[in-house]
């Protein structure tokens, strides 16, 4: 910028994150599961939710990579980032209206229309998301980025979660689905309008030629991971169908272990294959990095999908929370998780430096697993809320400690390329857990599915054992390939 930082910049630079987080916390755990349930019925709602999550998240990975590259090189007179934020937001508002219109449909026609709209929503949201990530690095001096990032955290976590819980969640719980979508659209419009006041200038000079090779690598990596999910998902479906023939208690154990093994295999082998595709033989020269991604993906499969299936879990657990009535408690659980993520994330950097990153990751996994235990054994909403707080607290410690560990495991001259592979864990978590786990909830119970996700927190500890944390001050150096 060609002017000093103003107090209003802290708001305009970060306001759009409020809309993006509210969108994800309304669509993913509330509206999409309820509409899938309405369209396909009770018997297959988990499986079809897994289908819609898989393809939408794969679209998100590709779109965010593409739009990030394009906005980097944008020479629009309106700036590099704002045109992409505006376009993505307008697309989102149109899609919200179409989802509202389609909510009155029924059967598989309604599901496939929702499938297309939700996938398009992921594409438009990630168009805006990719551009918004560049605002602070583009415009804020380094000495003020910490404060700006702190304000961003407020707009990303507690504020939108409180809004969803006490405004949108209550609307959905009373059956006002279209009203909640209109509210979400109005919020998106308001936050986009504020974002347009960012004093962004046109890119100076001619942008560098677009290098399509990184995008091609992302596409190939995504394709490999998707094929892996589809293949293992089918094997798990066959195994779950086979388990149904056993006595009830034994069948639950068999189905749970089949699901857990299937997800673990997908996480481990999928990450290994994807990293091989992305960085080739160099992956073998730094095995700790591969295990770091596995650790990250395993934990996020658990935390992401507990939130994604919580509304079906509540409906199953409490007969009084049938249909949309589960939306209110589900939104409250998500709020508890988000607030405790923030509460524990704030001191976790100091704790990681004081006690070690791996030690903090052990605590985070045990805390989250304890939270899952509360969910599985709960007989009322109170222990479920306690479980949500524990999962959120564990996740807050995990995000900081895991990322800090990852920055030590990558070569400094290629940190962006290596850490960019963490997107595989971020988006892949929802795809793996939902597609493979959904049929388990359908055929047996969502309480059993919560137990499977809880076990993944403990599996992340096994991956942690294989990571060799570099000594303080040590640098990871990998030989260059010709």
pLDDT for position 482 = 34
């060799």: which residue's tokens?
468
| Cβ(159)–Cβ(322) below 8 Å | no
Cα dihedral 208, 210, 211, 213, rounded to 10, equals 160
pLDDT at residue 460 in the model? 93
Which ranges of the chain have pLDDT less than 50? 472-482
How far apart are alpha carbons 166 and 155 in whole angstroms?
16
**What is the rounded CA–CA span in Å between residue 168 and residue 407?**
38
Predicted local distance difference test score (pLDDT) of residue 432? 92
pLDDT of residue 282: 64
pTM: 0.88
pLDDT of residue 283: 61
Q: How far apart are CA 208 and CA 138, in angstroms?
A: 17
| Neighbour count for residue 335 (Cβ, 10 Å) | 24
Q: What is the pLDDT of residue 481?
A: 32
Q: How far apart are CA 457 and CA 453, in angstroms?
A: 7
Does residue 41 contact residue 323 with C-beta atoms inside 8 Å? no
pLDDT at 480: 30
| Distances in whole angstroms, Cα of residue 134 to Cα of each of 19, 64, 85, 148, 420 | 17, 12, 11, 13, 15
Residue 423 has a pLDDT of 67
pLDDT at site 70: 82
Residue-range domains of the chain with CATH? 1-198 (1.20.1250.20), 213-470 (1.20.1250.20)
Main-chain phi, psi angles of 313, to 5 degrees = -65, -45
- The secondary element (H helix, E strand) that includes residue 228 is helix 213-243
C-beta separation of 235 from 419 below 8 A? no
C-beta neighbour count of 51 within 10 angstroms: 18
Determine the Cα–Cα distance for residues 420 and 403; give it in Å rounded to an integer.
12
Q: What is the pLDDT of residue 79?
A: 82
376 vs 147: CA distance, rounded Å: 39
């Amino acid at each position: 910028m060609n002017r000093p930082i103003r107090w209003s910049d802290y708001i305009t630079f970060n306001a759009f994150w409020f809309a993006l987080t509210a969108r994800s916390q309304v669509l993913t755990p509330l509206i999409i599961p309820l509409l899938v349930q309405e369209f396909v019925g009770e018997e297959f709602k988990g499986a079809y939710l897994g289908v819609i999550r898989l393809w939408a998240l794969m679209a998100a990975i590709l779109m965010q990579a593409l739009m990030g590259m394009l906005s980097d090189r944008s020479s629009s007179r309106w700036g590099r980032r704002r045109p992409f934020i505006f376009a993505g937001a307008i697309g989102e508002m149109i899609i919200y209206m179409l989802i509202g219109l389609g909510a009155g449909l029924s059967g598989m026609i309604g599901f496939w229309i929702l499938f297309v709209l939700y996938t398009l929503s992921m594409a438009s949201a990630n168009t805006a998301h990719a551009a918004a990530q560049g605002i602070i690095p583009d415009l804020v001096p380094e000495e003020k980025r910490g404060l700006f990032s702190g304000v961003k955290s407020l707009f990303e976590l507690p504020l939108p979660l409180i809004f969803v819980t006490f405004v949108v969640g209550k609307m959905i719980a009373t059956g006002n689905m279209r009203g909640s979508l209109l509210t979400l659209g109005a919020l998106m419009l308001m936050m986009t309008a504020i974002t347009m006041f960012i004093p962004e200038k046109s890119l100076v000079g001619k942008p560098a030629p677009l290098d399509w090779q990184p995008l091609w690598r992302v596409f190939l990596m995504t394709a490999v991971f998707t094929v892996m999910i589809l293949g293992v998902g089918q094997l798990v479906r066959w195994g779950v169908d086979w388990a149904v023939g056993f006595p009830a208690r034994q069948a639950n154990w068999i189905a749970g272990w089949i699901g857990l093994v299937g997800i673990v295999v997908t996480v481990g082998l999928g990450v290994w294959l994807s990293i091989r595709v992305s960085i080739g033989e160099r992956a073998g020269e730094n095995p700790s990095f591969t295990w770091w991604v596995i650790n990250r993906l395993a934990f996020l499969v658990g935390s992401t999908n507990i939130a994604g299936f919580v509304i079906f879990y509540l409906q199953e657990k409490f007969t009084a929370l049938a249909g949309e009535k589960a939306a209110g408690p589900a939104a409250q659980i998500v709020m508890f998780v988000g607030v405790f993520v923030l509460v524990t994330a704030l001191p976790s950097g100091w704790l990681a430096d004081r006690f070690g990153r791996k030690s903090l990751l052990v605590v985070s996994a045990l805390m989250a697993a304890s939270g899952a235990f509360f969910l599985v054994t709960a007989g009322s909403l109170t222990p479920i809320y306690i479980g949500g707080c524990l999962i959120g607290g564990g996740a807050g410690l995990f995000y900081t400690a895991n990322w800090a560990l990852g920055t030590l495991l990558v070569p400094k001259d290629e940190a962006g390329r290596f850490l960019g592979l963490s997107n595989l864990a971020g988006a892949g978590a929802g795809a793996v857990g939902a597609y493979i786990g959904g049929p388990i909830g359908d055929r047996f119970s969502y309480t059993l599915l919560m137990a499977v996700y809880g076990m993944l927190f403990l599996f992340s500890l096994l991956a942690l054992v294989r990571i060799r944390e570099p000594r303080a001050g040590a640098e990871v150096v990998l030989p260059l390939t010709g």
